[in-house]
Amino acid sequence: MALTTNQKREFYERGIVKLPGIVPQELVGQARRAINAYIGAYGIDPAELTRYRAQSYCPGLGAEPPITDLYNATPIRDVAEEMIGAGKIRPVTGGQIALRFPSLEEAPQAPRPHLDGMYSPTNGVKEGTIANFTALVGVFLSAVPEPYAGNFSYWPGSHRLYEAYFREHGPQSLLQGLPPVDIGEPEQFTGAAGDAALVHYGLAHGIAGNVSPNIRYAIFFRLSHVDHAQYQWECMTNLWVEWSGMQAVV
């Protein structure tokens, strides 16, 4: 599967491109079955909920084939290599199992922006560091047809605003918090089970509250260029240095 020039332009402008129906339903079902079987066997420790939300539910399962096949055995891998470069992505050996359970709150929680890799007490990132990467891939295992159903949320174009800020203030300024710039209003991802999204690392994103009756099932993969250690800071002031497949559009 190859992205069209228009899709690449959309990715350049918005920082995200939707990949409808890219994951076969058989693999969607296998992943959900594995997650549900894990919860049925081991439950969810209430004392670990904050850490699970920040890192991953079902510890250990994220490295098993029912989860990793969602990337490694689907056209998502081909799309990512087309955009970042053939053989230029570190092997994907695990995914974040991201469940969002319904809330009984009357007013849904609005999404709040963040960038991955910033320290928090529960997310596993070492304090005083930025654990950035190249791209985020979200694979949705349940339908999210309407807003405030635990939707992945994003601020279109925020990657370019942040790029301009980091060019002026330095990428290490992220250690002090998100850039204090107006990034507009968020959009909430809607779609069907089997849809996915390719997201630039620099795009501000978050999660909407869930006032639907359903659990939102999603898996997130974090992709890094093989030379990311060399580009760790430059990729924040030059968004496309790790994206060989975007050079014609850029």
**CATH code where residue 210 lies:** 2.60.120.620
Say how many Å lie between the first and final Cα of the chain, rounded.
21
Query: Angle at CA 5, nearest 5°, toward 242 and 228?
Result: 5
Q: What is the pLDDT of residue 107?
A: 86
Give the structural domain span for 227. 5-246
For residues 41-75, one letter each, b for 16 or more C-beta atoms within 10 angstroms of the residue's C-beta and e for the rest, the string is: eeeeeeeeeebbbebbbbeebbeeebbbbbbeebe
Give the per-residue pLDDT at 1: 77
Question: What is the residue whose two structure tokens read 């693999």?
Answer: 27
Average pLDDT of span 94-105:
96
DSSP string covering 72-104? HTSHHHHHHHHHH-TT-B------EEEEE----
106 pLDDT above the threshold of 90: no
For residue 105, pLDDT over 90 is answered with no
How confident is the model at residue 215, as a pLDDT? 98
Average pLDDT of the chain to the nearest whole number: 97
User: What one-letter code names the amino acid at 220?
Assistant: F
By residue count, the chain amounts to: 250
79-88, 105-114, 206-215: segment of lowest average pLDDT = 105-114
Report d(CA 114, CA 199) in Å as an integer: 13
pLDDT of residue 53: 93
Tokens of 150: 């635990």
Residue-wise pLDDT tens digits, 11-58 = 999 999 999 999 999 999 999 999 999 999 999 999 999 999 999 999
Q: Which of 88-97, 123-132, 149-158, 165-174 has the lowest mean pLDDT?
A: 123-132
Supply the pLDDT for residue 156: 98
Mean pLDDT value of segment 231-247: 97
Q: What was the pLDDT predicted at 111?
A: 96
Tens digits of residue pLDDT in 152-192: 999 999 999 999 999 999 999 999 999 999 999 999 999 99
Helical residues (DSSP H) of 103-216, grouped into ranges: 158-169
Pair 228, 242: CB distance under 8 Å: yes
Total domains in the fold of the chain: 1
Pick from 39, 40, 34, 101: nearest CA to 68:
34
Strands ordered across the beta sheet of 205-207: 187-188, 152-154, 205-207
Q: Is the pTM of this model over 0.95?
A: yes
What is the predicted pLDDT for the residue at 56?
97
Contact indicator for 215, 102 with CB cutoff of 8 Å: yes
